[in-house]
């Protein structure tokens, strides 16, 4: 069946299991989920729907009705020019993940410039998430990364490991990371950007029970989380 619906530019979607579809609207900073027949109804009418999910046994009319309801909810669009297909993030997400400190052990003295950049990253993150929107933060990070992450500013893992340790040593004076994974991830991304390092920002979800988690990684290196913490989460977006 030809696709009749697409995701709006500000919506991301994944299927954490064969019976559930989770949507993240970054404009409203809001998660929504469909389960059972409602989720399977969309598998034949949404462009790029994950093939691993349960295929629908519903009629075309029922699938179209479900899609139309999602359009009215702002989670799908019937205009391909203003929409995008569902895209599964292509990042390592298995037993190969490892904390970056495991491979790179080093000590770096904290300089005044490190403190200044840390404080700038904190203020920038606080402003982005308190005064703007998640959509603004995503667009800003994506634009900055695409402009500046060039071949002459390649990601250097041992350099990142040094800076992650600096970040953690300074972090205890500002806030605790527990329960603040989104803020923590963006804070670390902003800090590393001061040194022209641009790892990947990931948000993942799991279905039963529902939970969402944000983290930072580069290839198989985890920069702000332990691998066992993130493997249960299916990546929803990766930038």
Decide if 89 is inside a domain. no
Question: Which pTM was predicted?
Answer: 0.90
CA distances from 180 to 42, 57, 66, 126 (A): 33, 41, 34, 12
CA-CA-CA-CA torsion sign (205, 58, 75, 86): positive
Clarify whether residues 211 and 138 are in a common domain: yes
Decide if 32 is inside a domain. yes
Kindly state the average pLDDT of the residues 111-127: 96
| Least confidently predicted of 104-108, 133-137, 161-165, 191-195 | 104-108
Q: Name residue, tokens 């402009």.
A: 147
- If pLDDT is split at 50, 70 and 90, which confidence band does 171 have? very high
Number of domains in the chain: 2
What is the structure's pLDDT at 36?
A: 84
Clarify whether residues 118 and 209 are in a common domain: yes
Kindly state the average pLDDT of the residues 87-105: 87
Cβ–Cβ under 8 Å, residues 167 and 173:
no
- CA dist., res. 42 & res. 114, Å (int): 49
Q: Last residue of a domain, which of 84, 117, 139?
A: 84
Kindly state the average pLDDT of the residues 81-104: 89
Decide if 151 is inside a domain. yes
Decide if 68 is inside a domain. yes
Give the rounded percent of residues in the chain with a pLDDT score beyond 70: 93
- If pLDDT is split at 50, 70 and 90, which confidence band does 75 have? very high
Degrees to nearest 5, angle at CA 178 with 94 and 161: 55
Domain that holds residue 55: 7-84
Clarify whether residues 133 and 217 are in a common domain: yes
- The residue among 37 and 125 whose pLDDT is bigger is 125
Degrees to nearest 5, angle at CA 208 with 203 and 212: 20
- If pLDDT is split at 50, 70 and 90, which confidence band does 187 have? very high
Structure tokens given for 173: 């004076």
Structure tokens given for 163: 């800076």
Clarify whether residues 120 and 198 are in a common domain: yes
What is the structure's pLDDT at 135?
A: 95
């Amino acid at each position: 069946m030809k696709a009749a619906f697409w995701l709006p530019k500000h919506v991301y979607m994944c299927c954490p299991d064969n019976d559930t579809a989770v949507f993240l609207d970054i404009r409203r900073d809001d998660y929504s989920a469909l389960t059972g027949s409602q989720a399977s109804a969309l598998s034949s009418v949404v462009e790029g729907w994950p093939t691993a999910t349960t295929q629908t046994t519903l009629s075309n009319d029922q699938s179209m009705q479900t899609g139309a309801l999602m359009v009215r909810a702002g989670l799908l669009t019937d205009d391909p020019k203003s929409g995008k297909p569902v895209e599964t993030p292509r990042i390592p997400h298995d037993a190969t993940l490892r904390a970056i400190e495991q491979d790179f052990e080093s000590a770096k003295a904290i300089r005044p410039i490190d403190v200044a950049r840390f404080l700038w990253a904190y203020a920038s993150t606080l402003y982005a998430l308190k005064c703007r929107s998640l959509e603004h933060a995503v667009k800003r990070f994506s634009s900055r990364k695409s402009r500046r992450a060039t071949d002459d500013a390649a990601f250097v893992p041992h350099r990142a490991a040094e800076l992650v340790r600096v970040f953690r040593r300074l972090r205890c004076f500002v806030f605790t990371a527990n329960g603040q994974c989104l803020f923590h991830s963006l804070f670390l991304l902003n800090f590393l950007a001061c040194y022209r390092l641009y790892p990947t920002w990931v948000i993942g979800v799991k279905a039963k029970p529902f939970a969402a988690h944000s983290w930072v990684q580069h290839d198989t290196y985890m920069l702000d989380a332990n691998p066992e913490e993130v493997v249960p989460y299916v990546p929803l977006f990766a930038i």
